[in-house]
A = this chain, B = another copy of it.
Amino acid sequence: VTTVPDDHDDPGSGPAVETIGSDHPRASPADVARTLVGSGGQATLSTITDRPPGHPFGSLVTYAVDGDANPLLVVSEMAEHTRNATRDPRASILVVEAAPGGHDPLDAGRVTLLGELRRVEDAEQQAMTDAVVAAQPSVGRYAHFRDFSCWRLTVASIRWVGGFGAMTWLGPDDYRSGTIDPVLAARGPVLEHMNTDHGDACLTIASHAAGGRGLATSSMVDVDRFGTDFWATTPAGERLSIRVPFSTPARDTDEVRRLIIEQLQQARTAQ
């Protein structure tokens, strides 16, 4: 994973970021990519058009994923993107995280899956169409029309961007080895809730994890099944990035609630 200090030419004059707890386990980029693709259902498909020739053409699609985490689309043979893929199968799908409102749109996580888009072979056509309808009921409105069929993007290359300045390329084996993280899938509401309603708890947990240093501000910026992340500032204006692990991986959002309360209790006990 590339982060701002590694590859981003940031001439900002602010103090350097200190990272604390970065050795603790966290969801891998492959986990994040799999979770994001698995949580979504609407995406942008990019294909190659001939109007003008060779231009990349973005269009809106709904999708589901097959057992190998390849996107499946039910599309009309009359649609531009289907005509394009028939001529040239090179394609990609961009899935963007549904971000909590009010932030920079570019804070949202996103994944671009690149590969070849081809009609699913006849023997699998019905089963794959049914899988898409099961995942995306609105597709059932038209999946049975004669001109519609199920197409598969076989993923060959993956670009993940975690927000401003965090990004990496993944190979298809990496991507497929990722685990869908149920906590990461719900991170938007968890972060919103913690930062809106429990700002004091965020400050207490982060201060404890930072070795008992007094902090001026702290907000929870990420959460996955292994722990929580905070951005904080010291009274002197230094910026800290702090990872706080859970005592055990969380299996769902109920467990996350319990584990965050545990982090808070440990921080309070130490005060």
Contacts and interface: CB of A to CB of B under 8 A. Distances in A.
Contact of A41 (B42, B60, B80, B105): B105
Interface string A94-119: 10100000011110101010110000
B56 A93 contact: no
A90 interface: yes
Contact of A164 (B42, B48, B142): B142
A106 to B, nearest CB: 6
Interface string A175-204: 000000000000000000000000000000
A100 to B, nearest CB: 14
Interface stretch (A64-72, A125-133, A154-162, A252-260): A154-162
Task: With a 10 A CB-CB cut-off, give which of A55, A115, A138 has the most chain B CB atoms.
Answer: A55
A62 interface: yes
Interface residues on A, range: 35 or more
Given A46-B56, A56-B91, A8 B78 contact: yes
B55 A91 contact: yes
B145 A59 contact: no
A52 interface: yes
A235 to B, nearest CB: 24
Q: How many copies does the complex hold?
A: 2
Given A145-B12, A146-B9, A156-B52, A57 B105 contact: no
Contact of A157 (B42, B52, B146): B52
Contact of A94 (B7, B58, B138): B58
A174 interface: no
Interface string A73-90: 000101010000000001
A151 to B, nearest CB: 15
Contacts of A80: 159
A60 B167 CA distance: 13
Contact of A161 (B51, B60, B91): B60
30 contacts: A7-B78, A8-B78, A8-B147, A9-B145, A12-B145, A42-B105, A44-B58, A46-B46, A47-B56, A49-B114, A52-B114, A54-B90, A55-B91, A55-B92, A55-B115, A55-B157, A56-B57, A56-B90, A56-B91, A56-B92, A57-B114, A57-B159, A58-B92, A58-B94, A58-B112, A60-B110, A62-B105, A106-B138, A141-B164, A142-B164
Given A10-B145, A57-B159, A60-B108, 11 more contacts: A8-B78, A49-B92, A51-B157, A51-B169, A56-B57, A56-B90, A56-B91, A58-B94, A59-B161, A60-B105, A62-B104
